[in-house]
Structure 1
Amino acid sequence: MSNPNQPCVIAKFGGTSVADYQAMSNSANIVIANPNVKVVVLSASAGVTNLLVALAEGRDAEIRKQHIAKLQAIQYNILEQLPENPALREEIDRVISNIAALSEAASLATSAALTDELVCHGELMSSRLFVEVLKEKQRNAVWFDVRKVMRTDSKFGKAAPKVDEIKQLCCAHIKSLNGSQIIVTQGFIGSEHTGKTTTLGRGGSDYTAALLGEALNATQIDIWTDVAGIYTTDPRIAENAKRIDDITFAEAAEMATFGAKVLHPATLVPAVRSNIPVFVGSSKAPHDGGTIVYNAHSIKSELPLFRAVTLRRKQTLLTLNSLNMLHAQGFLANVFAILAKHNISVDLVTTSEVSIAVTIDTAGTNTDGSSLLTKELLDELSKVCCVEVQEDLALVAIIGNNLTTTKGMTKQIFGQLEQFSVRLACFGASTHNICFLVKAHDAENIVKILHKTIFE
């Protein structure tokens, strides 16, 4: 890190890429194969975060015991394939004991702060073990606690990073480290100003990698996952999905925002700000290539009309109806002020003369629309309008370029949806997407039909 002119790649590995010893070994080989990788960012081993979240919800003693035994088994299965290391085993045992104590506290009274403190242990363990995997392969690796540099606000569960402070702290704690060392650290977690652990929200390991990349002036950010790049849709839904070899930041951000799970929606923000290319590949098949994401001017070919079809589940529709809205001023402002007061982030919006329909995205959270829409919020909204809540919905989006200026395109798309009930459609606000809010049980069929029409 000490040579500012040397290429610097940040490599991030997701949960399946560090799920067990073999997966960690494959990921370590990827790191070793690229001498420009200076920082490695890890998620928790697959399944670990879900167990920790369950413990944070306050389970009874027997279920806690079962969950902790599963956590221990995942770590021990990796540990036992490494050379004997009493200090590492003692460290893993200490972390497991800490998890047990925190989960017992959560069974008495849970909180967002306690949940963050508990769930961070997944990344702490995977990164400790990965250091030893690299050392076993004769590489000079050092463990680094990302909470020293990943400064956030105090919104536990979905903390916002403080970019300027992160850059200053990275200069102080990471750039001064020995440049021949591979720094292994954690994704997803950070700390607020008093030192309490925070998390960036589920999927936040990608975001961590991008934030560190920005702070360290990285030349590239590599996101290693379980698929070989970004596809025209989820290959698990449409078997003929095609990989996209190169894609612009704008297109990838739209895809991530509207449900593509390969990238965390916020990941690209630091990369776009600093013009850092992002590579997405499979840690299981690194030689299969992947997708590179960069600025539009770097792509030589003309951008296609259609790029992808995405699906975002767990959507809630809030319809607000009032005759007082007709020709009235300030009604929209009043409604949105109430939503903001209750920390509700509105996604899509459509309006008519006497009603507003807004969607609320609960995908990627541990909650649903009904728990976000508290009684206090609904009571306050009911004073100014009639409120209707509809759940079990999904958002299907077509991602592309110049969608609003291409003739005949809408007939091609809307004609495929005649047999389905479309609850809401958004088109025109962006040249990059057309969105449909549909019943959850119809969503996958709609994705298959649209993908076949557009790409097959």
Structure 2
Amino acid sequence: MKVFKFGGASVKDAQAFHNLYKIVKEHSASDQLLLVVSAMGKTTNALEQVLELAYSKSDYRTDLQNSYTYHQEIVQELFPQQSHPVYEELEQLFSKLQHLLQSFLTDVSYDLLYDQVVSFGELFSSTILHHFLQTQGLPNTWVDSRKYIQTDTTWREARVDWVWTERIIKRDLPSLLAQRPIVTQGFLGGTNNGLTTTLGREGSDYSAAIFAHCLDAESMYIWKDVDGLLNADPKHFSDTIRYDQISYQETVEMAYYGASVIHPKTIKPLANKLIPLYVKSFINPAGAGTKICDCTNDKIAPAYIIKENQCLISFGAKDFAFVSERNMGTIFNALSELRIKINLMQNSAISFSICIDLHQEHLQKLIQTLQDLFVIHYNTGLRLYTIKNYETLSTQKAMEGKEVLLEQRTRSTLHFVCK
């Protein structure tokens, strides 16, 4: 039994669906498959824009129509017969979304509404994929992941109820998998009162790992538009290296520091049951890819990780006193209340600095909360570089020509924030 996760690029157009089918067909003859699919192309971004407009009482109809047209055009390529039921199902989903947007209540939190709205992207893609595989002669079962991945109500980053989730997955899905492949959604969970939750941006990897863990899968595969797990983003570095095999621990640290190929929470559910994870290319499925498993890496190539749109904030005591543990506790409490994650922190005698993802609303709330207690300075529009397993040459190459505002080194990892 294997879990396959397909990201947005692997279902971005009609040709991508045909390519996905070839991969699934090849494996379905010998393996039980559970397919986890993300929203198509840039649909999540598009729905976020629709939500922003609707929440601010602006006209969102053009943006919503553009999203509908995008899906409709792909459906028309995949299903030439206009009478196919996928047309009606897609229209019903968009009607539900439009009704939800029209019934917005101003006293409901933005984050709650975010989960209800943005989740439609995965409902669109999984519905289309389910029907497409059927037309290609590959019977499959569509499953609503919101009924199986049970969570709390931490909107936009829900916490999984592992005991209940594993119980109902093991109760229902093995018998379905014994008959045919399952198609389900990434990124989504559900509460015990029927509301939709999401597991964090790019959370489809995590969804797949949850299913793999609960089903005791033989392995999990993430199908990407790159040849495997690379030591750097090819958008920023031309001389990337593919890791043939890498340990769970190395991968967890890379994901935590911001490597975009894998969601940070993906590895733990797999490592707990020693389930290997393969990162493969849907463009070149025969390629070796990367195996992530319980192994030891004596020496591996340095990994270069960049986090964009960073904010560096420094807190100083107003009376030039030392920044004590009590001061830092006050800062940490404020960060926790606003659900702001620290990407890097450093303290000196009279200041405490943190690097975070920039979110203007959260930044202003943090400043309002702490400005009476601290002198606060901040810079925005920055980059956070992380080099794992750094060497002198890799360090010099990465820092050359950059204005470094903060630098931090450990035995194996270098971080620096720059303009």
TM-score, normalized by the shorter chain, greater than 0.5: yes
1:52 is paired with a residue whose SS is: helix
Residue 326, structure 1, aligned to residue 316, structure 2:
no
Q: TM-score, normalised by structure 1?
A: 0.84
Question: Out of 341, 359, 377, which is 1:369 matched to?
Answer: 359
Identical-pair percentage: 28
With over 3 angstroms needed to count, the CA separation of the structure-2 counterparts of 1:354 and 1:128, relative to structure 1, is same
Report Cα offsets for 1:381-414 as digits up to 9, x if no partner. Answer: 22322111221111111112xx6xxxxx458725
Q: Secondary structure at the match of 2:272?
A: helix
Partners of 1:396 and 1:178 in 2: how far apart? 43
Quick check: 1:383 aligned with 2:363?
Answer: no
Per-residue deviation at 1:325? 4.2
Choose from 390, 407, 414 the match for 1:425: 407
Gaps (5+ residues) in structure 2? none
> 2:73: which partner in 1?
77
CA contact (8 A) 1:146 1:189 kept: yes
What TM-score do the two structures reach when normalised by structure 2?
A: 0.91
Whether the aligned pair in 2 keeps the contact of 1:58 and 1:103 (CA below 8 Å) is no
Count of residues in Structure 1 that have an aligned counterpart in Structure 2: 412
Is the partner of 1:373 in helix, strand or coil? helix
- In structure 2, give the amino acid aligned to 1:96: F
Paired with 1:391 and 1:345, the residues of 2 have a C-alpha distance of 16
The corresponding residue for 1:99 is: 97
Matched, 1:52 2:37: no
Q: Is the 8 A contact 1:23 1:284 kept in 2?
A: no
1:334-380 Cα shifts (integer Å, max 9, x gaps): 332233233332231111111111111x2xxxxx33311234x3233
Distance across 1 between alignment mates of 2:339 and 2:387: 28
Distance 1:417 1:23, change over 3 A: closer
Structure 2 vs 1, CA of residues 327 and 369 (structure 1 numbering), >3 Å: closer, same or farther? closer
8 A contact 1:230–1:243 mirrored in 2: yes
**Which residue of structure 1 lines up, in the alignment, with residue 417 of structure 2?**
437
> SS where residue 71 of structure 1 aligns?
helix
Aligned equivalent of 1:32, options 25, 29, 52: 25
The code of the aligned residue for 1:87 comes to P
Aligned Cα root-mean-square deviation (Å): 2.3
Q: Distance in 1 between matches of 2:348 and 2:311?
A: 19
Aligned equivalents of 2:143, 2:323: Cα separation in 1: 59
Looking at structure 2, the residues matched to 412 and 138 of structure 1 have their Cα atoms a distance apart, in angstroms, of 51
1:106, CA displacement in angstroms? 4.4
Residues 53 and 59 of structure 2 are in contact (CA less than 8 Å); yes or no, is this contact kept in structure 1? Answer: no
> Is structure 2 residue 386 aligned with structure 1 residue 397?
yes
Q: Which amino acid aligns with 2:363?
A: L
1:265 CA drift (Å): 1.6
Aligned match of 1:356:
352
Q: Secondary structure at the match of 2:176?
A: coil
CA contact (8 A) 1:254 1:433 kept: no
Using the TM superposition, give the Cα deviation of residue 61 of structure 1 relative to its aligned residue in structure 2, in angstroms. 8.9
**Partners of 2:24 and 2:288 in 1: CA distance:** 15
Which string of whole-angstrom CA distances, capped at 9 and with x for unpartnered residues, describes residues 193-238 of structure 1? Answer: 2110011121000110011111111111100121121112111222
Q: CA deviation at 1:249?
A: 1.5
The code of the aligned residue for 2:245 comes to D
Counterpart of 1:89? 87
Q: Structure 1 residues 15-24 or 69-78, which shifts more?
A: 69-78
Residue of structure 2 equivalent to 1:340:
336
Residue in structure 1 matched with residue 210 of structure 2 by the alignment: 211
Cα deviation, 1:88-109, whole Å, max 9, x if unaligned, reads 2211110111122223334977
